[in-house]
Amino acid sequence: MKIKDVLGSQNATLENVEVISKEEPRQFEKFGKQLRVCNARIKDETGELKMTLWNDEIDQVSQGDKISIIDGWVKEFNGELQISAGKNGKLVKAGAETPAGKGEK
C-alpha cells in the first residue's frame, strides 16, 4: 500500500517509507501512568503522512530512517490524516526482522 491509498483504510500496511521529520516527545499522565507521544512525518513516492509514535516507538525511530508500519491504524484528526501502529499493529525499522504475527509489540 502507498500513502496515497490509506484514506478509508482500517488496517494499513506501509512498507519502506522514510521518516522526514520528528517532533520533540510530549509526556502526559493517563490512568496514573506516565505516557509519551510524538508526531513525525513520513513519505513515499506518492505523498506524505503524519505518524503518531507512542512510548518506546519514539526511541526506535529517527529522521532519515526507513520504516514499515504493519496493520497500522489510520484516522483523521484536526482535518489531517495520520497513522499509528496502534494496539494491533507493528512498527519495524528497515533492516530489522519482520514480525511473524500480528499484534506483537
Who wins on pLDDT, 103 or 60? 60
- For residue 59, what is its C-alpha cell? 526511541
| pLDDT band per the 50, 70, 90 thresholds, residue 83 | very high
Share of the chain above pLDDT 90, in %: 68
Q: What is the mean pLDDT of the chain?
A: 88
Share of the chain above pLDDT 70, in %: 90
pLDDT of residue 99: 47
Domains for the chain: give ranges and CATH numbers. Answer: 3-93 (2.40.50.140)
pLDDT of residue 100: 43
